[in-house]
Structure 1
Amino acid sequence: MTDCVQVYTATASREAAVVLGKTATEARLAAGVQVVGPVVSLFWHLGEFGEGEEWQVIFKTTTARYPDLEAHLLEHHPWQNPEITAVPFVSGSAAYLDWIARTVAK
């Protein structure tokens, strides 16, 4: 297990996804971000089944920086209750993991 995580969220538009990714990366809350989409999303919301297109945003950061990234996403996300999840890196190349850690270090 490493100290690095991928953090996921999604937005309704490419533009909103890029803004979240750019602001988090500029603030060094993430070493890098990928915007993927559109993706088909199937979900329950307010008791109703829904389907739509979303843009997935994937942030690379450390567990130490996760709370700051989460706070940033909650403050700047266009949705009231967005998905924000973190998945740990089980392993990775030492140089890549070091780059993430150095880039987001306070």
Structure 2
Amino acid sequence: MSDFLQVYTAAETREAAVALGRSVTRARLAAGVQVVGPVVSLFWHQGEFGEGEEWQVIFKTTAARYPELEAHLLEYHPWSNPEITAIPMAAGSQPYLDWVRRTVESPGDETA
């Protein structure tokens, strides 16, 4: 398994997505977060077909920090059953990956 992950969730509003990103980044559970949107989502929920706009949130972290990141999202996400998925990073520039690792493992300020 890769040492580095991109973790995804979504939120109903830009403000909620940014709040999640901010809380995760400040807790050093992710080195960086991107908020993308709005995106159109099509889904089944409670036996009914749904469609709506959401804001996608992408977290850059390490596999070692994933359990804490997931727990944080489950605690602070406004939805009772949010999407939380993780995709391994197959490759990346070494300086970037070093920055991700340093940032989530240390409490001091980090630069790219």
**What letter is aligned with 1:29?**
L
Displacement after TM superposition at 1:103 (Å): 0.3
Residue equivalent to 1:53: 53
Q: Is this contact kept in 1: 2:6–2:88, CA < 8 A?
A: yes
State the partner residue of 2:42. Answer: 42
3-state SS of 2:64 partner: coil
* Structure 2 unmatched ranges of 5 or more: 107-112
Measured in 1, the distance between the counterparts of 2:44 and 2:17 equals: 21
State how far apart, in whole Å, the 2-side matches of 1:56 and 1:74 are. Answer: 16
Q: Deviations over 1:5-41 (max 9, x none)?
A: 0000000000000000000000000000000000000
**TM-score normalised to the size of structure 1?**
0.98
Q: Distance in 2 between matches of 1:105 and 1:4?
A: 13
Contiguous gaps of at least 5 residues in structure 1: none
Greater relative contact order structure (CA < 8 Å, 6+ sep): 1
Q: Displacement, 1:2?
A: 3.6
**Misfit runs of 4+, over 4 Å:** none
The amino acid that maps onto 1:51 is E
Residue 31 of structure 1: aligned partner: 31
| Equivalent-residue separation in structure 1 for 2:88 and 2:95 (angstroms) | 17
TM-score, normalised relative to structure 2: 0.93
Supply the distance in 2 between the matched residues of 1:56 and 1:7 (Cα, whole angstroms): 10
1:18 partner letter: V
Task: Report the Cα offset of residue 3 of structure 1.
Answer: 0.7
Task: Report SS of the residue matched to 1:64.
Answer: helix
Map of 2:109 onto structure 1: none
CA distance in 2, matches of 1:10, 1:16: 9
Equivalent residue of 2:78, what SS?
coil
Question: Aligned residue pairs: how many?
Answer: 106
Give the RMSD, CA atoms, in angstroms: 0.9
Q: Tell me which residue corresponds to 1:79.
A: 79
Look up the equivalent residue of 1:46 and give its one-letter code: Q
